[in-house]
Amino acid sequence: MVKSFEELTAWQKARELTRIIYKISSTGEFSRDFGLRDQIRRAATSVVLNIS
């Protein structure tokens, strides 16, 4: 039985994906395209928040 959303596999994978996206979007040309970078980061964060 799940007692909190942090125990959900979907939430854990979404958090890991968000960490990866933040890392990738902090380097290279991606980091200089502020609009795209911020939109991708907000989308990844939204997934985590919607699961919780």
Q: Give 34-46 pLDDT, tens digit per residue.
A: 999 999 999 999 9
Residue 50 has pLDDT above 90, yes or no: yes
Beta-carbon contacts of 4 under 8 Å, excluding residues fewer than 6 positions away, are: none
Residue 2 has pLDDT above 90, yes or no: no
Helical packing angle, 34-51 and 9-24, nearest 10° = 170
Domain ranges of the chain: 8-51
Q: What is the pTM of this model?
A: 0.86
pLDDT of 1: 87
